[in-house]
Structure 1
Amino acid sequence: MGIETQVEVKPRKGGFRTMPFIIVNESFERVASYGLQFNMLMYLMTYYNMTAATGTCILGLWAALSNGLAIVGAIIADSYWGRFRAVAFGSISTLIGMIILWLTAMIPQLKSLSCSEIHHVCNGPTTLQRAVLFLSLGFMSIGAGFVRPCSIIFGADQLENKQNPENGRILDSYFNWYYASSGVSTILAVTLIVYIQDLYGWKIGFGVPVILMFLSVLMFQIGSPLYIKVKAKDTENLVVGLFQALVAAFRKRNTRLSLSDCDEYYRWPLESEVLTPSMDFRFLNRACMIEDAERDLNPDGSASNPWKLCSLEQVESLKALLRVLPMWSTGFMIFVDMNVFAFSLLQTKTMDRHIFPHLQVPAASFSVFMIIALTIWIAFYDRVLVPLLSKYTGQPRGLSPVTRMGIGLIASSLSIALSAITESIRRQRAIEEGHEDDPNALVNMSAMWFVPQYALLGVAEAAHAVGQIEFLYALLPKSMSSTASAMYTVGTAVSSLIGSILVSSVDCLTSTGGKTSWLSSNINQGHIDYFFWLLTVLNLLNLLYFLLICWFYEAGNNGSSNSAHVAEDKECDYRLLSES
């Protein structure tokens, strides 16, 4: 009877009935979080009297922390908490951060006075005011680190049923709807939330995301009795295993390596198909060499000290990771370009943003053109170009992943070069109209001139990011499939950090000797165009670096190898891509 009762209860957990709770949770969280980001630079400059460069640096560090913590959140969810607790904790943490940020807009003592309120005599924020601001950003970063890598997989847990022959189709439908809702949410954040902030001010503009995030937490908790809550796996974490291989190789650095493969290597599990280590990065082979079987192994065949003896599989996984690092690093510049695009907010704010006589686009909403271009490119490439190109290239995806990565880098370089040209024209026109000392004056120039550069950057991200994920997925072992998504996330974090350092360095170096910084808050006196030209040069150097890396890679390792692996599981890459 006990068994029969279990069989009756099981179907009541999970299933499509949980989807409204999970998708609403993710959608509201995305609208609330993204709605705060696009206009945040103006809030920092207005109420914390920060320069444009300082504000951009802080936003870059915020993005770096949020993306970096996504790796921590995924590890904790998989190894300790389980995904339900991770998403619940992350949602509540994000809500707390948003409430604190909203309080900075509501309570005058939590922010410094605007310069215009005290006759242009600007006082910087106090230590307490900075602490409260950074506390809010910290809570939101922690929340993003737990929600975004876990939410999508938690939803898949509710629908996965390997005994159902329609399991694949159901999961595919779920992922499509999930990302459709994510795309709509992002567009709403860029348009509706930004519009509310511009029209009604920060009190309401920050209050609306708080309400949405509260509803997100509430909906997720209401669905709790219906969820399938998969417990955390009590298995060794992949990241820990890679560190163990490094440490073991270092500790045994004085051990001699034979020129042949006659050494005895540790394999775990024992039925592993990997028999001998590869010959590249041979110094790492020491990590899996058995020197003394009685000392190194337990009676059951496992390693007595995993930090001194690692499995052959761990060593080969580490080697695979080292092989793809150079190509992975070529993608940093695209995300650096996207991070410093915050300066475009200051540019478009001084221009005519009317599409129609009575319809004006908020300055922070111009990012929607990048999102639209990204979406159009993915759909156009997948539905139109792939069938045409695959006939001529022999590639199942039309162009090889490396080729698409190269297209992304070229598009990114063109976008930044176009930004430099457009800003040169805007700045010259502002000076000719007598606005050199007034950064808020409206220049007689349409902001629609900025649409092409946003569109190019959207195409760059779409082409390079998807190509990079496929490249990593093809070259990494199947046991490291999720690492491709993790590396994408880490790449965005590193890029945000690089962008912040670059902005800070340029601001400091160009303002020496009392000179006006290129990145001055008065963009009519500064030279953002020079900064964009600097980025263009860095993008071109990065493109040369990319070509050099391509030359070193064998033709069979261009992302088209291991085609069976890619064809079998390629959809996982796309699904995990946006969550990073």
Structure 2
Amino acid sequence: MEAVEVESKGAHGDDRRTSRNDRRSSWGCTLLLVNNSLQYMSYFGLSTNLVNYFKVELHADSKSAANSVTNWVGTSAITPLAAAYLADSFLGRYWTITLCLVISVAGYGVVTASASAALQSAVFYAGLYLVALGGAVSPVMASFGADQFGDDESERARQSSFFNWFYFSINVGSLVGGTVLVWVQTAHGWPLGYGIPALLSVLAVVLFSAGTGAYRTHQPPAGSPLTRIAQVVVAAVRKWDVEAPDDVALLHEYDGEDGMSAILGSRRLAHTDQFRFLDKAAVETAGDKAMQPASPWRLCTVTQVEELKCVLRLLPVWACGIIFAAAFTQISTTFVLQGDTLDPRLGSFRVPAAVLSIFDTLSVMLWVPLYDRAVVPLARRLTGHRGGFTQLARMGVGLVILTVAMLTAGALEVARRRVLSRHGMLVGADGAEYVPMSIFWQVPQYVVVGAAEVFTFIGQMEFFYDQAPDAMRSVCSGLGSAAFALGNYASSLLVTAVVSTTATNGQPGWIPDDINDGHLDYFFWLLAMLCVGNFGAYLLIARWYNYKNTVY
């Protein structure tokens, strides 16, 4: 049928078929973006106000409630690596996404039932952690979406744009979930407030299934990447006394058709000179020739060795993302502490300090189309690069922008302390104390953080996908989530270290309970210095880094 249809179209048949495939791919990607937005509406509809549910409905004290939320959020940030491993190793991306979406539906259903019938807290916890497990699909979804594009220049440009809009869809979901659904919970109760996320999760399953015929599925599951990595390490150690040849053509490689490797669905990778010790794993000795087929724990292909090299090259770049995340997380901690002391009045309405994070979300939603439609075309004309910037350059720009955000927050803190020293704390009509300085002076620092996200977080998504071996793209895409989780832990450790170091000899320290007695500005300067140091290390890593070279 396909051959007849193409032939009947004459000379333009291939163009029309390509156009039809492009439309189908665009439709599939659109469904994925809407699906992702629905998932994040559900997630933020559940997570944003979760601490209050623990306190009001489950009667937990403030510390227990905060710890419960922190533990759950931490679990939600780690489970994507498990889902990514499952996708790359056994199920493939399509079926992993399907499984996770179904688990999410079950989780939101249990949470809603618990809230509606006032069931025991154990039931609520069960639903909550089912959501954490089912919601682990983001890196797999991003990889699956990127799979919908080919390898030519125009397709790769569209793929780069997809990552921008994928992150945009996350922020649309967080905006709606963190505002509208939280308002529903406050105004109309928990059953409806949690029931809507449950319905949205069902709709996400329906939409994903509806796009099945439009998806391209490029990468089949190729077995455990951890096993392949372990085989390279073991084989290289066994052959520690073997000399790797200077002629890389003598190293062992699978001679598949169309540049394919022995790893299912994975293209061959070109040899690189970094980490030359690992090349010993691909040296075929007389003993290997005597054992046919040779054990994979003694003899590996060049592509398998290069898989491990790819991961080793990614790790230093990934480590720089931890410091970035540690500074980024201040929008939900020290930025809020700073805002709590400022004048919250907007007419007769009081603006809670935590609400100002919406300007970070709005900044992302502004910067994504601006970057995609204006910055990239301009940069493309200046640099000649199809993406405007290289992936490493894009992430580096974000590191610089976040440094500016920390400096902006520090400058505002200096100004706040000066106003405080001149006027002291004023008492509003509602009896609340505040520094006579509008809370909206914080908006610039939130907006700058949003710009940094668009450059670095989205750059990370594209970089980890593009530079990962074909059979490890979901796992490597999950590195961004792991860096974010570790960044949060690093921020907590940094605050603890600062408090214990500066609060000595009767001094309140930089971050006391009442920040008016401390020096939050010093903490922001410290973060800025860490960002500068991180950027310096990043420049060295970027210069050392060799981009992946696939053999077509």
* TM-score, L = length of structure 2: 0.73
In structure 1, distance between residues paired with 2:363 and 2:194: 29
In structure 1, what residue type is equivalent to 2:90?
Answer: Y
Conservation of the 8 A alpha-carbon contact between 1:338 and 1:457 = yes
Aligned residue in 1 for 2:450: 458
The one of 372, 387, 394 equivalent to 2:384 is 394
Cα gap change, 1:106 to 1:76, in 2 (>3 Å) = same
For residue 135 of structure 2, give the secondary structure of its aligned residue in structure 1.
helix
Question: 1:109: Cα distance to partner?
Answer: 11
Cα gap change, 1:417/1:83 in structure 2, threshold over 3 Å: closer, same or farther?
Answer: same
Structural mapping, 1:105-504, within 5 Å: 138-145=129-136, 147-151=137-141, 182-196=170-184, 200=187, 204=189, 206-219=190-203, 228=212, 233=220, 235-250=222-237, 252=238, 254-258=240-244, 260-261=246-247, 265-268=251-254, 270=256, 277-291=271-285, 292-294=287-289, 296-298=291-293, 303-304=294-295, 306-343=296-333, 344-355=335-346, 357=347, 361-426=351-416, 429=419, 432-433=424-425, 441-469=433-461, 471=463, 485-504=477-496
Provide the C-alpha distance between the structure 1 equivalents of 2:94 and 2:118, rounded to a whole number of angstroms.
38
Closer/same/farther in 2, CA of residues 373 and 225 from structure 1, 3 Å limit = closer
- Contact 1:321–1:476 (CA under 8 A) maintained in structure 2: yes
Contact 1:98 1:209 in 2 (8 A): no
Kindly provide the amino acid, as one letter, of the partner of residue 210 in structure 1.
Y
| C-alpha contact (below 8 Å) 2:406/2:524 kept by paired residues | yes
Deviations 1:479-499 (A, max 9, x none): 665565333333323323323
Q: For residue 133 of structure 2, what is the amino acid of its counterpart? A: I
**Would the aligned equivalents of 1:439 and 1:523 in 2 still touch at CA under 8 Å?**
no
Residues 248, 309 of structure 1: 8 Å contact kept: yes
Per the alignment, in what secondary structure is the counterpart of residue 260 of structure 1? coil
Letter in 1 for 2:179: T
**What letter is aligned with 1:544?**
G
Offset at residue 284 of structure 1 (A): 0.6
Counterpart CA distance in 1 for 2:509 and 2:54 is 19
Q: TM-score, normalised by structure 1?
A: 0.70
AA of the residue aligned to 1:142: L
Q: Deviations over 1:146-201 (max 9, x none)?
A: x32445677899xx799xxxx9999999999877654432221233234456x54x
Using the alignment, how far apart are the partners of 1:259 and 1:190 within structure 2?
58
Relative to structure 1, is the Cα distance of residues 485 and 209 closer, same or farther in structure 2, using a 3 angstrom cutoff? farther
Q: Provide, for residues 245-284 of structure 1, a one-character-per-residue CA deviation record: whole Å limited to 9, x for no partner.
A: 223323x153322453489533235556869844321211
Q: Report SS of the residue matched to 2:478.
A: helix
**Alpha-carbon separation, structure 1, partners of 2:146 and 2:467:** 26
2:83/2:96 contact within 8 Å kept: yes
Shift in alpha-carbon separation, 1:142–1:522, aligned structure 2, 3 A: farther
Aligned partners of 1:428 and 1:108: how far apart in 2?
A: 50
Change (3 A) 1:536 1:470: same
Question: How many residues align structurally?
Answer: 507
CA distance 1:84–1:398, change in 2 (3 Å): closer
Shift of 1:345: 2.9
Q: 1:348 to 1:324 in 2, by over 3 A?
A: same
Measured at CA, do residues 516 and 440 of structure 1 come closer, stay the same or move farther in structure 2, by a change above 3 Å?
Answer: farther
Deviations 1:486-532 (A, max 9, x none): 33333323323323333344445455677656444544445443332
Per-residue CA deviations over 1:358-394 (Å, capped at 9, x if unaligned) read 5554433322211222232232233223333333333
Q: Distance in 2 between matches of 1:403 and 1:234?
A: 32
2:343–2:439 Cα contact (<8 Å) kept:
yes
